[in-house]
Amino acid sequence: MVLLAGFSGPAMGGVEHIAATLSEDTGTVVVHHDLAELREGVVRRTVRTAGTVSTTVLELAHGCVSCTLRADLLPMLCTLATREHVERIVLALDPGIEAEALCHAIEQVEVSGVADRVDGPAGRTVRIDAVLTCLDGQQWLADATGDEVLADRGLAAADDERTVAQVAVGQVDFADALVVLTAGTDALDRERLAAVLARLAPAAPVAWLPELPGFDAIEIGALLTRVPAESRRGRIFDAHAPLLRGQPPLSTDCGVSIVEFAARRPFHPARLHEALDVLLDGVVTARGRIWLATQPDHVVWLESAGGGLRVGGAGRWLAAMSTDEQATADPTRRAMAALGWDERFGDRDVSLVILAHDADPAEIRHALHWALVEDDELLLVDRAPERVALWEDPFGDWHRDPCADPTEATFSEATASERTNPRGETA
């Protein structure tokens, strides 16, 4: 199975062109769920092969897009995969559908009631071969660094809090291959965009296209063939996976750089809240694990895209677990924690990776260092945690959408994590 993602008008044109081209191959089925009429409570599903096109109108399952797609798409994947003439399934995603959340559902959500099939996730029946993302070279960086809400563009329901930047960045970060449409993009902007993509999706091969008509099935196939064997191919990484993947360049190019920040002491929550603006101006994305002095047991995940930021829980530190609980933790996580285990604080630490395109790395590091607890405060963290628990903590209230199943949540789903607005305040 191949997933096609795109965001802006030209990029969606690229998705449509590639989907149409691939549908001409015998044995390929292209599936597309159109959310253009979402506000009217309607989703249109189109299934296309080399000789046929069929469209079905779906009503939203109790008003939830995710539930509707899961109820319709996942059983369909299982059914299509059992047909002898189907060799490849192509999912042409609507701009409002995030590939990472969908891949998580394919691998984790149980599908039941499909004839001649044992109940279980669709991932037992289909293999995700690649996620290919199209982007508009002229507009993508502006989208990825703004703070516009997705709903304002008519690409999501009014109560959808996701931002344009979140989706634009997520589509590239999760991609195994990229198609960049360069029409109207000047040389300097292209060079800067290339520097960003090399750091955001370093393992993904890139096709730079001045126009689409010449991009035929052979060239699409050649691009997908260049996808490295170790690429994600739909895999979901948890909060404890390495933050730098695919060996991105660590040098600065066109003002674009990766800033790594690590510390073996926690953040003071109030000062961190004040310092967060440094991650929202001139930064494409930031992500990582943080240790809050007021929440010593919990790993906190921080993730930004453009002018929006969100914070969510990511389980507990190993040091806060019992011996039996530690034994069930991921072996790689345990091994990495053992390398830097602290006799007082165990595996607790701060680890952030920031992709800056128009920000001073020194200013970012200075602001984050300022937000860490000082020596006298660290002494309280160690010896008087009950006093530290009384500190002001703007990150203390967690929000979870009641429609989201916490066992199925990922950090790329709009409903699954606490989120903050561009000023870092709890929404």
pLDDT tens-digit readout, 353-369: 999 999 999 999 999 99
> What pLDDT sits at residue 420?
38
Tell me what pLDDT residue 397 has.
Answer: 65
Q: What pTM did the predictor assign?
A: 0.90
List pLDDT tens digits, range 236-263.
999 999 999 889 999 999 999 999 999 9
Output the 3-class SS for the chain.
CEEEEECCHHHHHHHHHHHHHHHCCCCEEEEEEECCCHHHCEEEEEEECCCCEEEEEEECECCEHHHHHHHHHHHHHHHHHCCCCCCEEEEECCCCCCHHHHHHHHHHCEECCCCCCCCEEHHHCCCCCEEEEEEECCCHHHHHCCCCEHHHHCCCCCCCCCEHHHHHHHHHHCCCEEEEECCCCCHHHHHHHHHHHHHHCCCCCEEEECCCCCCCHHHHHHHHHCCCCCCCCCCCCCCCCCCCCCCCCCCCECCEEEEEEEECCCECHHHHHHHHHHHCCCEEEEEEEECECCCCCEEEEEEEECCEEEEEEEEECHHHCCHHHHHCCCHHHHHHHHHCCECCCECCCEEEEEEECCCCHHHHHHHHHHHECCHHHHHHHHHCHHHHCCCCCCCCCCCCCCCCCHHHCCCCCCCCCCEECCCCCEC
The reply to whether 248 falls in a domain is no
Q: Report the CATH number that the domain containing residue 47 is assigned in CATH.
A: 3.40.50.300
In a domain, 425, yes or no: no
Residue 427 lies in a domain: no
Are 181 and 306 part of one and the same domain? Answer: no
Q: Domain total for the chain? A: 2
Reported confidence tier of residue 427, pLDDT bands at 50, 70, 90: very low
- Nearest residue to 50 via CA among 24, 21, 87: 24
pLDDT of residue 90: 98
- 276 in the same domain as 170: no
Question: Are residues 221 and 367 located together in one domain of the fold?
Answer: no
Q: For residue 240, is it within any domain?
A: no
Residue 62's pLDDT band (cuts 50, 70, 90)? low
Residues 200 and 320 both lie in one domain: no
Q: Are residues 301 and 212 both part of a single domain?
A: no
Structural domain of 289: 257-420
Q: Write out the two tokens for 320.
A: 């806060």
Sign of CA dihedral 166, 169, 175, 177: positive
User: In this structure, is residue 47 part of a structural domain?
Assistant: yes
